[in-house]
Structure 1
Amino acid sequence: MIHFSSFIIGYILGNFLFALIVGKYFLHADPTKNGSGNPGTANMGAVFGKKWGILTLIGDAVKSILALTITWLLFKSQLAMAYCGLGLMLGHCYPVTNHFKGGKGVAVVGITMLAVDFKMALIILLIALVLTIIMKNLTIPPLFFTYCFGIASLSLGKTNRGLIFLVIGIIMTIRFWKDIIDFVQGKGKKVDILFSIKKKLGIKI
């Protein structure tokens, strides 16, 4: 019952897609009809500008933190928060409020990992960041940190937690499938994080 309740809390709050909220109330535009059509941070930033992408990210982060905080206050269980994260992921990727068409859940998963096991998540996320810089790719690193967290949890005897994150990894793989194919075929969009940071800081490149 605790785990089901945690899942429901996550799913309900996961349905709030801030790309759609920001698009409707601030931009008077539908992000699902622009760019890649994905109602997420990357598409919002690419189509409407970084400011709106960041605002979308903050909104999705806040809903995730709120769901996980409510779950912790009610049940005081890391496993319950993992179930909440699964609900968040499904709610974000397949929201009832948008005909089951949602985002890819990268921020949702990252925050859930940090809430469930901060030290392990921080190490894995830092490795994923390095991969992002080296590969100049935003598809493979999120898959890496999700599956890696699940496998690491299993290796530590956290079976239920590990299986939950492997399921989350499968959901993310489905959502990223087109991007994975593009990456394999060498057509994936490259994102140079270091270049962007240097340009922002005014450092000569």
Structure 2
Amino acid sequence: MENFWMAIWSLLVGYFFGNFLFAMIIGKGLLHKDPTKFGSANPGTANMGAVLGKKWGILTCVGDLAKTLTALFIVYFVYHQAPLAIAWCGLGLVLGHSFPFWNHFNGGKGVAVSAQWIVFFNWRAGFTFLLVALILVIFMKNLTIPPLVYMLGYSIYVWLLMGWQCGLIFLLGMLVMIFKFRKDIIDFFTGQGKRVDILTTIKKKIKV
């Protein structure tokens, strides 16, 4: 019963903080522009940066990372570093970010949130899988598949290292992301996905 209530409260803390969509806060609050009405219509870092500029994309990312850290640290200290509590909180964050109740359950895709979640849970493994994802982005020139790959790989790693409960929770987080990426996944496999050439962009910046 104790673990049940720990899971519920950790999930709720995560969901509450996940509802703070900084794309909406910055877009509607500071710029008076609704990020769900332009670009990809996704209230997240990538859409904000692509349409409104890199500065606003970075600010959105920083805000989403900050809310994620806040929730995770609260649960971390309340439940004395319990891995299961941190895992449930992370899932709550992904759910809150992806399905915020105040915005008709229309939120972001949870990439920044999930990245912070896996690093917080195990920073060595987290950074390793994020590095793999970055390499995939460079070679695949795609932003849809790499996040799903790092979540799947990390979930399997946690399952094998810490048991099925934590692993299953991370897999549930990945399933949420798959649902949010469903249209992008179809576009990727039908050859209509948006290509992002990071190396070319960096080279252009260096020349400038």
Same fold (TM over 0.5): yes
Q: Which position in structure 2 is the counterpart of 1:6?
A: 10
1:103-122 CA deviation, whole Å, 9 max, x = no partner? 00001001000111111111
Alignment-derived partner of residue 138 in structure 2:
133
- What is the distance in 2 between the residues matched to 1:197 and 1:55? 20
- Structure 1 residue 16 corresponds to structure 2 residue 20: yes
* Aligned: 1:29 with 2:29: no
The total of aligned residue pairs comes to 203
Matches within 5 A, 1:80-95: 80-95=85-100
Q: CA deviation at 1:58?
A: 0.6
2:161 and 2:60 mapped to 1: Cα distance? 34
The aligned counterpart of 2:63 is 59
Relative to structure 2, which stretch is displaced further, 114-123 or 103-112?
114-123
Q: Percent identity?
A: 53
* Residue 75 of structure 1, aligned match among 70, 75, 79: 79
Deviation at 1:157, TM superposition (A): 4.3
The letter for the 1-side match of 2:184 is D
Report the aligned-residue RMSD: 1.0
Aligned pair 1:152/2:157, yes or no? yes
Q: C-alpha distance in 1, partners of 2:205/2:71?
A: 33
Indicate the residue corresponding to 1:116 in structure 2.
Answer: 121
Distance 1:157 1:63 in 2: 26
For the Cα contact (< 8 Å) 1:31–1:37, is it kept in 2? yes
Structure 1 position 26, deviation (Å): 1.7
2: CA distance, partners of 1:34 / 1:2 = 39
Check if 1:99 corresponds to 2:115: no
Following superposition, the deviation at residue 12 of structure 1 comes to 0.2
Q: Report the 3-state secondary structure (helix = DSSP H, G, I; strand = E; otherwise coil) of the residue aligned with 2:195.
A: coil
C-alpha displacement of 1:201: 2.3
Instruction: After superposition, give the CA deviation of every residue in 1:144-201 in whole Å (9 maximum; x if it has no partner).
Output: 0011111111222421110001111111000000000000011110111112222222
Instruction: Give distance in 1, aligned partners of 2:205 and 2:30.
Output: 25
- The CA deviation string for residues 78-98 of structure 1, in whole angstroms up to 9 with x for no partner, is 221110000000000000111
Whether the 8 Å contact between 1:71 and 1:84 is mirrored in structure 2 is yes
* Structure 2: stretches of 5+ with no match in the other structure: none
CA distance in 2, matches of 1:200, 1:84: 38
Q: In structure 2, what is the Cα distance between the partners aligned to 1:69 and 1:195?
A: 38
Structure 1-normalised TM-score?
Answer: 0.96
Question: TM-score by structure 2 length?
Answer: 0.95
Q: What residue ranges of structure 1 are gaps of 5+ in the alignment?
A: none
